[in-house]
Amino acid sequence: MNKYTEKYRGIIDRLIDKSFPILRGKKIYISYFNAKKYSGGAFWILPFWRVIFINKNKKFNDEQLIGLFVHELGHFEVYQKRSWLSFWFIELLYWIFPKFREKEEKNVDKRIIQKGYAKKYYSFVREFHNKKLKVSKYYFSPEEIKSYAKKIGKW
């Protein structure tokens, strides 16, 4: 385990303990990748195999890391509440239909803002949100994060 993996594992474990209790005791792996248009992501194929991917070439401060991790943990929380069959069906819809993908991503954004992570997620998105990337349209923009958080009293 490298020094970054240890640091990331500590942050993820604290976030789970504080805000994602349904994920307690679930093994979440950390893996690294190199891609220009992504900062990170989550992947869950099997009930026991959850992975958070982090772009090894991007530099994140602690606030941005928390913003990235809470978004991905938000996905795992949603997945955990679904049956295995519905999970696979929804994943299929997610990858085939862009409007469905946008709805799923923005629902996760709302979920983590409701949990009180608006400013940390804002910090992450503000730094790494790029309107030129096709993937950015699926998520809240920095302005939408702030607006929604203020609307629900979580800013």
CA-CA distance, 129 to 87, in Å (whole number)?
Answer: 27
Q: Domains of the chain: which residue ranges?
A: 3-151
pLDDT by residue (tens digit) across 104-144? 999 999 999 999 999 999 999 988 776 555 557 889 999 99
pTM over 0.85: yes
Q: Is the pLDDT reported for residue 146 higher than 70?
A: yes
More confident residue, 129 or 88: 88
Q: Give the model confidence (pLDDT) of 23-72 as tens digits.
A: 999 999 999 988 777 888 898 877 778 999 998 888 899 999 999 999 99
* pLDDT at position 34: 87
| pLDDT for the residue numbered 135 | 58
SS3 assignment for the chain: CCHHHHHHHHHHHHHHHHHCHHHCCCCEEEEEECCCCCCEEEEEEECCEEEEEEECCCCCCHHHHHHHHHHHHHHHHHHHCCCHHHHHHHHHHHHHCHHHHHHHHHHHHHHHHHCCCHHHHHHHHHHHCCCCCHHHHHCCCHHHHHHHHHHCCCC
